[in-house]
Amino acid sequence: MGEVVRFKKPRASEKHANKALCRAGFHRWQAEPGTPFDVKQGRLVTVYRCQRCGITRTELA
């Protein structure tokens, strides 16, 4: 019955390690398509999303 245990989410520990990197300030920013214009700021921005922890940030173009 040990087989089932193997399906335990391996991503959990992986995610934790990634979060550690993120918390250290090493986010893996990747430009996210679909939001080339921020109406709130009224100008072009580029949206970046961290591939690890999922937070986003915007950068003025």
> In the complex, which residues of this chain contact Zn ion (CB under 5 A)?
22, 27, 50, 52-53
Whole-angstrom distance, CA of residue 58 vs CA of residue 44:
10
Of 45 and 53, which CB lies nearer to Zn ion in the complex structure? 53
Asked whether 55 and 27 are in contact (CB, 8 A), the reply is yes
Of 33 and 54, which CB lies nearer to Zn ion in the complex structure? 54
| Closest by Cα among 60, 59, 46, 53 to 14 | 53
> Least distance to Zn ion from the beta carbon of 13, Å?
17
> Least distance to Zn ion from the beta carbon of 45, Å?
19
